[in-house]
Structure 1
Amino acid sequence: MIAILFLIISLLSLLFLYQGTGRNKRLLLYFIVWQIIVGILAYLRVFMDYPILFPFVILVTFLFLIYGIRAVTIKHITTNYLLANHVLRIPVELILYQLYLEGVIPKLMTYEGYNFDIVIGISALIILGYLLLTNRKLKPKFIWLWNIIGIVFLLFIVTLAILSSPLPIQQLAFDQPNVALLMFPYCFLPTCVVPIVLLSHLLWLKKNALKNTYL
């Protein structure tokens, strides 16, 4: 059941990215093709058998992230859809907690540990509701502050996830390592959901820096 829910979240993140970038078909296509490749490898348990391969997957995903920042122009950015991607951080955190209960990720990656990402998800929901109900603009300083905090929280949990993974650089959670992200469909968290969330932050900052407006 949670696997199906996570697949839905992954698809929604792609949909919100597509809408938030002005329906950038090329960026969406790149992400979809990459997820198909990663998904097949994870389904065949390639990453479980050879976890050392996964850092290369992250590297390729990072290249897609750089492409997205450069390819999307500010006139095509719709921040309400980018905010919707951050709202997805709420159900993601609930799924991570369930995965912890199933013994495939460590407690430190949940909101009972050191993962505070759910706070950003809740605040994104409040901000999105405010914008939709009032149709007002947010102050540029607030946009900068909120996005920077969101990026810091995201990078913090990504660091914990890497250091608790069964890799040569593992430093944490040896009793219950992070193996879920090597499995299908949770492989889409570091290759789809997280990079899209980070891209949503960076694109809003890009638009705010160049135009100081939220639409």
Structure 2
Amino acid sequence: MSTMPVYVPLLFGASVLAAVFTLWRAANRSRVLLIFAAAWIALESVIPPVLPLLAIPPMLIIIAFLATKKGRGFIHTLDLPTLTLLHTLRIVVEFVLYQLYRYHAIPILMTFEGRNLDILSGLSAPLVYYFAFVRHRMPTRWLITWNLACIVLLFNAVAYGVLTAPGPLQHLSFDHPNIALRHFPYVLLPGVLVPIVLFSNAASIVKLLKIREINGDKFFVEKLG
């Protein structure tokens, strides 16, 4: 890790800030969200990195948003086009992961050359945005399907991250383990970036299901608003 080029952590840190900023914009510039995100990033930057525990608090918050009436009410105020564009950051994250692999900080399984196909979510996000919100030619059910596929790809990437990290859950890559996520700023991947990406997909699905319920299967995104 000590030989890592300086641009790698800087690029990763920039992607974290960009994700928070984009979610903040999607949430109508919520001050509460911004304060919470800043506090959580600061806390994760100083506490000992225990990989499974990093994601538990934000995951519980996501569940609360999805399971409560007030939480779903907040979700329905989010800007769907901005949530969709947020996923382009997954391209940057996958590039960083590949650099970490090159410097022996993670196994190849966690990269797009291995079994992590999450880069497909990032590459497809601009196309989905264009056809859904610029050309207005994407039915709601297609957007729901795309968000579900993005969640599947995310869980696949997370699974390989957990199964290759040193500890009781490690079952793969013992000769080349995932050690990067024990170091700052990469501890922010499971604790900040993954929850933001997951929430963006899940919130989009909740919002789209409600729209589809009201408008039917032939509803097009141009009627959002």
**TM-score, normalized by the shorter chain, greater than 0.5:** yes
Partner of 2:28: 22
Q: Is the contact between residue 116 and residue 157 of structure 2 (CA under 8 Å) also seen in structure 1? A: yes
Amino acid at match of 1:143: L
Alpha-carbon spacing, 1:34–1:16, altered in 2? closer, same or farther (3 Å): same
2:54, 2:190 within 8 Å by CA — same for their partners in 1? Answer: no
Query: Paired residue for 1:12?
Result: 18
Any conservation in 2 of the 1:103–1:176 contact (CA below 8 Å)? yes
CA contact (8 A) 1:57 1:191 kept: yes
RMSD, aligned CA: 1.7
| Equivalence for 1:56 | 53
SS of the residue corresponding to residue 127 of structure 2 reads helix
Contact 1:17/1:196 (<8 A) preserved: yes
Residue of structure 2 equivalent to 1:82: 83
Query: Take 2:31 and 2:209, find their aligned partners in 1: how far apart are those partners?
Result: 25
Q: Shift of residue 132 of structure 1?
A: 4.9
Whether contact under 8 Å (1:22, 1:77) holds in the other structure is yes
Does the CA contact (< 8 Å) of 1:104 and 1:178 recur in 2?
yes
Q: Is the 8 A contact 1:31 1:64 kept in 2?
A: no
1:73 offset after TM fit, Å? Answer: 2.4
Alpha-carbon offset, residue 138 of structure 1: 2.8
Distance 1:137 1:24, change over 3 A: farther
Report the equivalent of 2:44: 38
Equivalent in the alignment of 1:157? 157
Aligned: 1:124 with 2:118: no
- Render the CA deviation track for 1:160-184: whole Å, top value 9, x for unaligned: 1001111111101111111111111
Percent identity, please: 32
Q: Summarize the Cα distance change of 1:61–1:28 in structure 2 as closer, same or farther, 3 Å threshold.
A: same
Letter in 2 for 1:115: N
- In the TM superposition, what is the alpha-carbon distance from 1:131 to its structure 2 partner? 4.1
TM-score by length of 2: 0.84
- Alpha-carbon shift at residue 31 of structure 1 (Å): 2.2
More helix, by proportion = 1
1:174 matched residue in structure 2:
174
Aligned-partner Cα distance in 2 for 1:164–1:40: 23
Shift of 1:68: 4.5
The structural deviation recorded for 1:74 is: 4.2
Q: CA deviation at 1:137?
A: 5.8
Greater Rg over alpha carbons, structure: 2
Q: Partner of 1:40: helix, strand, or coil?
A: coil
- Identify which of 63, 67, 70 aligns with 1:66: 63
Alignment match, 1:50:
none
1:172-211 correspondence runs (5 A): 172-211=172-211
Q: Give the TM-score taking structure 1 as reference length.
A: 0.88
Q: Shift of residue 113 of structure 1?
A: 0.2
Aligned partners of 2:24 and 2:81: how far apart in 1? 12
Deviates further, 92-101 or 58-67: 58-67
Question: 1 or 2 for the larger relative contact order (CA 8 Å, sep ≥6)?
Answer: 1
1:3 aligns with 2:4: no
Mapped partners of 1:7, 1:64: distance in 2 = 23
